[in-house]
A and B are shown apart, each in its own frame.
Chain A
Amino acid sequence: MRTIWIQRAWLGVWLSATAWCAEPSVEFDVQPRAAVVGETVTAILTVREQPNPPVPDLPVPEGFRLIGMQPQQTVNIVNGVLQQAVSFRFLLRAEREGRYTIGPFRYKIGSKSFDLPGVQVDIVAASGAATPTAAHAIARLRISKPTVYVHEQFQLAVDLLYRGVELDRQVELAGLPESGLKLDGFMELPARREVVDGQVYEVRTFQSTARALASGEITLEPILRVRAIVGRRGRRGGDPWNELFENFFRDTPWDQTERRVVELRAAPVVLTVRPLPTEGRPESFSGAVGACTWDVDVHPTEVTVGEPITITMVIRGDANLDVVQPPKLDLGPAFRTYDIRSVPPSGSSAPARERVFEQVVIPRDQTVREIPALSFSYFDPEQGVYRTLTRGPFPLVIQPATNTASVVVRSTGTSQGMVVAEGVELRHLKATPSQFRRAAQRTSELGRNWVHVVPVLAAGLVGLWARRRDRRLHDPVWARRVRATKEARNILQQLERSLKRGEVGPFYETLWKGWTEYFGDRFNLAEGEADPSHILAAMGPNVDDHVRQQLEELYRACLDVRFAGAQPSPEQMSAQLDAFRSVVRWCEQRLER
C-alpha cells in the first residue's frame, strides 16, 4: 500500500515537472473556412503545455453570432514525455454573406502574450448554395512554379472540388506524362472547403513533389477518376446503423450503394522547364539543384601509415538529393582512395532531405599533413546561380608504419605461406608443379569434334536392331516373309550353280526346296499347302496370267522330274530357272511386303 502511494507521488511530481519545464504554445484556426449562411464554423484556440489557461476573449466579427464555447482538454504521453493541451472551441453561426476575418487578437497567459493571426472565412448566401448547377465536381491542377529548372523540385497539387454529390474515398489519378517528369508518391492533404464562383465546395487535395527531367515545355492535364454514389438500394434514409453497415460492406458483393465512375479532366497547365546554365558551372557540380547545406567530418585524424581515415559528407536540403552524385575528391597520390559509398539515412524521419556519403582513404606515407579542402557545388534555382560550399582543410597527424611493405609470414594450419602486401594478407606463391598445361591442351574445344555423334548413331542402330529383333519375336508372319527373301536369294544362287554343272537331280531338288520354303514363308503357308492353288489364293486376285502360268508349269516340271523320272534338257532347266526368278521378282515387287 505504501509502495503504491510512493509511486503515485513520484508520478505527480514527474507530471508537474514536465508541465513546468515545457514552454507553452498557442495555435489558432477556424474550420471550415468556407460556409453558407446559417452554418456553424468553429474557431479553435489550442494552448499547449499550460495547465489551466485563461479563457480567450475571441473577437467575433459582425457577420457571425457566438452560439457557444466548449473547452476540451487532452493529455498524451509520447516517448515518455507528457503532452497536454487545452482547446477552446468557439461555435460561430454565419449570419450574413461576405468575406470575414476572425482575429487577429492577442492572447495573454500570465505575463506572456501571444499575437495570433486572423483567419479569413468566406460566407456565401444560402440560396446560392442551394441552387443546383451542372458541375457538381471539378478537378483542378496547381503547380508551385510555372517556370522551373531541370531537376528543380516543385509542388504539384491536384484538387478535387465537389458539392452536392457524394464521392467514394478512392480516387484514381491519370493523364500525367509518363516521361520527362518525375513524381514522388501523391499524398492527400487534410480536407477543406473553398468558395468557387459563389459556391461552397468540399476540396480534397493530392499533392506530390515533382521534378522535370529535361528542358522544354510540358503540358499537364491530369484526369481524376472517382466513383460517385448515385443511389442506394433499399436504404432507410437517415439511419446511422444503416450508414455503419454500408461502410462495413463497401466494395463487397453485399454493397448496396450504386456508383458511377466520373472522369474529371483538369484544365491544362503549361510548365516551362529551363536548362541549367553551362556558364559558370563549377567543376565540383554533381547535379544538385535546390538549396543545400554541406557538412564534412574526418575521423580519425591521428593514424599510422596504412590505416584508414573515413571522410563523411552530409548533404541536406530541399533538392534532388536522390540523384545527387557524391562529390569527387581528388586527394592526389598521397592517399589511396576507396570508392565513395552512399550510406542510408539513419532515421526514418529524414527520408529524402539528407544524403550521406562516406569515403575511406589511406595515407601512403607519413609526410601527409592534411586532407585538403573539399568542395561541393549546387545550383540555386531561386537566384539562378551555382553556389560552391568549401570545407577544410582537415589537419592530420600521420605516424610511420611499424611493418615493412611486404612481410612473409607462415600461417598455422595451412601449408600455404601467407604474404602481407600493402596491408593485405595474401596466400604465398604456389610450388612449381611437375607438369604445366599449355593453352593448346585445353579440351574445352572438344565440343566441335564430330566424334561425339558416334554414340548417338550407335544407339540409333542398336535401337533399330532391337526393334527388328522384337518384331521377329512377336510377329512370326512378318519374320517368315523377311526370311523368304533371303531364302529365295540363296536358292537362286544354288540353282545357277546346279545348272552350270548340268546336275538335273540336284537342280530340281533345290527348285522344289526353294518352291516350298520360299512360297511357304512368303505367304505363311502350312507345310503341305505349297501347291499352286494355295499360293495363287494367297497371292490374291490380281495375279498376272503369265505368273499364274509359270507357277503351274514350274510345279508340274518339279513333279515330273521327282516322281515321273523326266529328263529335261539344259535349255528347259534354264527356262525354268528364269521362270522361278521371274515369279520371285514379281512377288517381291508387286505384292505387299
Chain B
Amino acid sequence: MRRTWTPWRLLALVMGLAGLAWAFDPAGVVQQMEEARRLYESHRPDEASRLYEQLIAAGYDDPVIWFNLGNARFQSGKLGRAVVAFRRAWRLAPRDPDIRHNLRAAIEHGSAVSPSRRWYERGWETVSAEEASRWGWTAWWIGWAAVAVALGWSSHPVRRVAWRVALAAGLFAVWCAAAVAHWHALDAECVVVQPDQAARFAPLPDARVFFTLPEGSVVEVMETRGEWVRVRADTREGWIRSDAIEPVTG
C-alpha cells in the first residue's frame, strides 16, 4: 500500500521532531546550568552570572535561571541587579518560597524601598500572569459552556447548577483578568542598580534632592524625559538618571 504525505502527517512529524529536540536539550542548557552552579560554589559568581545571562539571552525565561542568577549577582556584590533577577523570578513563580525569601532578604539587606501592596493586590500576586491567563481562559470556556448548558438543557435542576457554575467561573475569570492586568501594570517596574541615587524635584543635575533611593529599591517609572526618568517609590516621586535603573521585565 502506498503512503501519501498528507498535511496532517507532515504536521505530526514536525511536532514530533520538535519534541525530540526539546527533550534532548541540543543547546546544552542542563550542562550550562551545572557549570554555572560549579562556578558559583567555587566563589566565582561573576562567571556564573555570565553563564546564566547567556541562557537568558538565548531566550530562556525560567524562574530557576533567574533565581540562580540573582544569587550569583548577590554574591558578587551587585545588589541592585540581584534584586532585578529575584524580582523577575518572583514574577514567573510568585508562590515559590525560596524566591520570596531571597528577594525579601536582598531588599532588606540594602534597606531598599519596595512598593507596598494592598490586600487584594497581594491576592493577585499569588498567581503569575501566565497562570492567571491560563486559568482565566479556562474559566472563561467553562463558564460559557455552563451558560450554554443552562440555556439549552430542559431539566431545571441541571440548569440551576449550570447557572451557578457559570457565575462562579465568571467571577473567577474576572479575578484572573484583574490579576493579569495587575501584572501588566507592574511592567513599568524598575530597580535601582546604582548605590544611593538622589531623586530630585526636577530632571536637572543641580535640582534639589527630594529623597535618596538605595540600591535595590523597586520603583515605578512614570515618565521619561531624555536621560531622566520620573519614578515613584512607594508614595514619593522624583527624577533620577535613567542609567541608574534597570527594568524588571527586560
Contact = CB atoms under 8 A, between A and B. Distances in A.
Given A339-B111, A421-B74, A447-B137, A437 B61 contact: yes
Contacts of B121: none
B61 A430 contact: no
A189 interface: no
Given A408-B41, A439-B59, A432 B34 contact: yes
A455 B141 CA distance: 6
Interface in A457-477: 458-459, 462-463, 465-466
Given A428-B71, A432-B37, A455-B141, A337 B196 contact: yes
Contacts of B40: 429
Contact of A462 (B111, B143, B152): B152
Nearest to A423: B109
Given A432-B37, A438-B61, A447-B137, A325 B75 contact: no
A286 B102 CA distance: 35
A424 interface: yes
Interface in B95-147: 98, 101-102, 105-106, 108-113, 129-130, 132-134, 137, 140-141, 143-145, 147
Interface in A333-362: 337-340, 360
Interface residues of A, number: 47
B77 A438 contact: no
A466 B152 contact: yes
A427 interface: yes
Max chain A CB contacts within 10 Å: which of B37, B62, B209? Answer: B62
A331 to B, nearest CB: 11
Contacts of A437: 60-62, 92
A424 B129 contact: no
B33 interface: yes
B65 interface: yes
A253 to B, nearest CB: 44
B68 interface: yes
A421 B48 CA distance: 15
Interface in B53-71: 55, 59-62, 64-65, 67-68, 71
A233 interface: no
A45 B30 CA distance: 93
A435 B63 CA distance: 12
A540 interface: no
A446 interface: yes
A50 B225 CA distance: 72
**What secondary structure prevails in chain B residues at the interface with A?**
helix
Contacts of B101: 426-427
B152 A424 contact: no
Given A408-B41, A424-B106, A459 B148 contact: yes
A340 B214 CA distance: 10
B15 interface: no
A360 B212 CA distance: 15
Interface in B198-248: 209, 212, 214
Nearest to B101: A427
Nearest to A430: B64
A459 B147 contact: yes
Contacts of A447: 133, 137, 180
B212 A426 contact: no
A447 B178 CA distance: 13
Interface in B142-195: 143-145, 147-148, 151-152, 180, 183
Max chain A CB contacts within 10 Å: which of B108, B134, B143, B151? Answer: B151
A463 B149 CA distance: 9
Nearest to A416: B98
A444 interface: yes
Contacts of A445: 133
B132 to A, nearest CB: 8
Contacts of B129: 442, 444
A430 B68 contact: yes
Nearest to B55: A436
Contacts of B29: 436
B59 A446 contact: no
Contacts of A325: 209
A456 interface: yes
B102 to A, nearest CB: 5
Given A339-B214, A419-B75, A446 B133 contact: yes
B138 to A, nearest CB: 10
A588 interface: no
Given A446-B137, A458-B148, A440 B59 contact: yes
A242 interface: no
A444 B130 CA distance: 5
Given A428-B71, A455-B145, A465-B152, 6 more contacts: A337-B196, A360-B111, A423-B109, A424-B108, A436-B29, A463-B147
- 9 closest Cβ contacts across the A-B interface? A455-B144, A338-B111, A439-B61, A427-B98, A462-B148, A459-B148, A432-B33, A444-B133, A463-B151
21 contacts: A325-B209, A360-B111, A405-B43, A408-B41, A416-B98, A422-B77, A424-B108, A426-B106, A427-B102, A432-B37, A435-B22, A436-B65, A440-B59, A442-B61, A446-B137, A447-B180, A452-B137, A452-B141, A455-B143, A459-B151, A463-B152
Interface of A: 325, 328, 337-340, 360, 405-406, 408, 416, 419, 421-433, 435-447, 452, 455-456, 458-459, 462-463, 465-466
Interface of B: 22, 29-30, 33-34, 37, 40-41, 43, 55, 59-62, 64-65, 67-68, 71, 74-75, 77, 92, 98, 101-102, 105-106, 108-113, 129-130, 132-134, 137, 140-141, 143-145, 147-148, 151-152, 180, 183, 196, 209, 212, 214
